[in-house]
Structure 1
């Protein structure tokens, strides 16, 4: 599963306040993943947090109470 798919699955299934590290500053961060995270934040589905650790920064999404509505299949 891709990092983008993992992030979407997290948003769909996580409870309010749950956290998901979707990237790290010392690893590969595809622009599409970072844009997806920003888009989810703009929709009010997650808060984006950078947390400093020994190796750099962890990029974390924190689930909000905004309901997730999937596109009709």
Structure 2
């Protein structure tokens, strides 16, 4: 019977440690989720910039995007 009474006393520190670890992991997960949200926002901003640049390049018909390849000397072997 003494062992049964000692069991909860042993479990209390273990339970407290597990709860502390769980709380620490919850904070770390929240921090990582915040970082992910920030990175996703940065990616969205970069995608918008790329889209804007592509629109600018392809909207300008005089741009290099529409230039044909320059004439190159023939490289046929004799």
Provide the TM-score with structure 2 as the length reference.
0.20
Structure with higher strand content: 1
Question: Larger C-alpha radius of gyration, 1 or 2?
Answer: 2
Provide the TM-score with structure 1 as the length reference.
0.21
Higher relative contact order (CA 8 A, sep 6+): 1
Structure with higher helix content: 2
